[in-house]
Amino acid sequence: MLKKGNKLYSILTGSCPKCHQESMYEVKNPYNPGTLFNMHERCSHCNTRYKIEPSFFYGAMYVSYAVGIAFGVAAFVIAFLLLKATLVQTFIAIFITLVVFMPVIIRLSRNIWINIFIHYDPLASRA
């Protein structure tokens, strides 16, 4: 299901949205301190420029709102509906989830944002 050529592959792995051949990030692990936002300037494989225009990734904040809500709803369902926690406990669970997964949410948002504008090109992945 998750193979190169699928947008989901680029979004979940953080690989180049055009060729899916390499990671956009200098350090793949989002929890590595201090390197969360460090991205390569261009793809070394297909030469795609990741920062299409100045402040391009500010737009990812709109996406991170939606992604954050998705994580919050998931935490709510697990804590309140499955584990039968109280409302206060559920609130704490949602808060902890959002803090712990913040680096993942930020990276996912950037990946979704750039995949809206750059599409997979089979020719670029071959070259």
Task: Out of 16, 24, 75, 106, point to the residue binding Zn ion (CB under 5 A).
Answer: 16
> What is the C-alpha separation between 112 and 86, in angstroms, rounded?
34
And the tokens for 75? 């935490």
Stretch that binds Zn ion, among 5-13, 15-23, 64-72, 90-98 (CB under 5 A): 15-23
Token pair 């499955």 in the structure block, residue:
82
The correct pick among 11, 24, 39, 46 for binding Zn ion (CB under 5 A) is 46
CA distance 35 to 55: 18
- Which is closer to Zn ion, CB of 50 or CB of 76? 50
Between 49 and 65, CB nearer to Zn ion: 49
User: Which of 29, 15, 41 shows the shortest CA–CA distance to 125?
Assistant: 15
Q: Which of 10, 11, 14, 19 binds Zn ion (CB under 5 A)?
A: 19
> Would you call 23 helix, strand, or coil by DSSP?
strand
Residues lying near Zn ion in the complex (CB under 5 A) are found at 16, 18-19, 43, 45-46, 48
